[in-house]
């Protein structure tokens, strides 16, 4: 199966929090989108890895993505090393995404910036044919995605471009709320965390509203790039 977009997150829920409006919109337009989680989020204060697995599956169904895979790297401790790059290269060569969305270049959680660099470097290396990878006994073909875009998550980074997600905010919030164990729940007896407050839940909406306001649309999501963004014509910009 070939993907149009592969969205990668260090933890299950990173993708939903940051770029699920963009994903829902492209799925609606007929694009094939997949999600790759690097870890199971087993160090999360609330819930457990098993609960997160179920929540991630439910969120994937809400967004209508065609695949979701977890590489089960070590939450908090995974490294940007050869073994992990090769694991990601295998996925890239298997699904051949045109665009890869990955974590913010820098963020509050150390796994985000680390994951961003790891995925970005794997995308480059995946295009080098002399790096051999085998899947199901077959040698894989080299594949380099056309673009790697970093979604903005916790920190208010200045985006290099924004995507209009008007009409898709409800879907975004619904996919985030699939992670019931993590976010605001009046009835929960679990410890408070930076993301379990009602303020944080509200911030998903107001940040999308604010990003939208800046481009004269209802809601938007912001991204950063490693390379300059190019357009064929300046009329391509909305």
Residues at the site binding Zn ion, with contacts judged by CB under 5 A: 11, 14, 109
11 vs 68, beta carbon nearer Zn ion = 11
Rounded least distance, CB 127 to Zn ion, Å: 27
Rounded least distance, CB 126 to Zn ion, Å: 23
46 vs 217, beta carbon nearer Zn ion = 46
Q: State the CB neighbour count (10 A cutoff) for residue 220.
A: 25
Rounded least distance, CB 154 to Zn ion, Å: 8
Burial of 174 (0-12, 13-18, 19+ CB in 10 A): middle
C-alpha distances (whole Å) from 208 to each of 133, 197, 222 are 40, 18, 9
Strands (E) located in the chain: 5-9, 33-39, 67-73, 99-102, 134-135, 138-139, 147-151, 161-164, 220-225
Residue with tokens 């391509």: 236
Burial of 198 (0-12, 13-18, 19+ CB in 10 A): exposed
CA distance 8 to 36: 5
Rounded least distance, CB 103 to Zn ion, Å: 7
Q: Which residue's Cβ has the minimum distance to Zn ion?
A: 11
Q: State the CB neighbour count (10 A cutoff) for residue 204.
A: 21
Q: Are 107 and 153 in contact (CB under 8 A)?
A: yes
Q: Are 87 and 36 in contact (CB under 8 A)?
A: no
32 vs 149, beta carbon nearer Zn ion = 149
Rounded least distance, CB 14 to Zn ion, Å: 4
CA distance 176 to 173: 5
36 vs 215, beta carbon nearer Zn ion = 36
142 vs 157, beta carbon nearer Zn ion = 157
4 vs 13, beta carbon nearer Zn ion = 13
Rounded least distance, CB 37 to Zn ion, Å: 10
52 vs 93, beta carbon nearer Zn ion = 52
């Amino acid at each position: 199966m070939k993907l149009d977009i592969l969205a990668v997150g260090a933890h299950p829920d990173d993708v939903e929090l940051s770029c699920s409006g963009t994903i829902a919109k492209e799925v609606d337009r007929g694009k094939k989108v997949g999600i790759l989680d690097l870890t199971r989020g087993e160090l999360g204060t609330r819930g457990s890895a098993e609960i997160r697995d179920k929540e991630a599956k439910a969120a994937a169904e809400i967004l209508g993505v065609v695949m979701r895979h977890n590489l089960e790297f070590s939450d908090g401790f995974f490294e940007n090393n050869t073994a992990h790059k090769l694991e990601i290269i295998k996925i890239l060569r298997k699904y051949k995404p045109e665009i890869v969305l990955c974590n913010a270049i820098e963020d509050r959680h150390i796994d985000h910036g680390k994951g961003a660099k790891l995925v970005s470097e794997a995308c480059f290396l995946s295009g080098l044919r002399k790096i051999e990878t085998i899947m199901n006994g077959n040698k894989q073909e080299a594949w380099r995605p056309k673009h790697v875009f970093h979604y903005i998550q916790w920190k208010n980074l200045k985006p290099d471009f924004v995507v209009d997600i008007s009409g898709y905010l409800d879907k975004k919030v619904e996919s985030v709320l699939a992670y019931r164990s993590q976010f605001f729940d009046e009835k929960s007896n679990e410890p408070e965390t930076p993301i379990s407050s009602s303020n944080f839940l509200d911030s998903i909406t107001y940040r999308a509203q604010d990003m939208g306001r800046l481009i004269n649309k209802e809601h938007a999501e912001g991204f950063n790039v490693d390379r300059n963004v190019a357009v064929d014509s300046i009329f391509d910009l909305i």
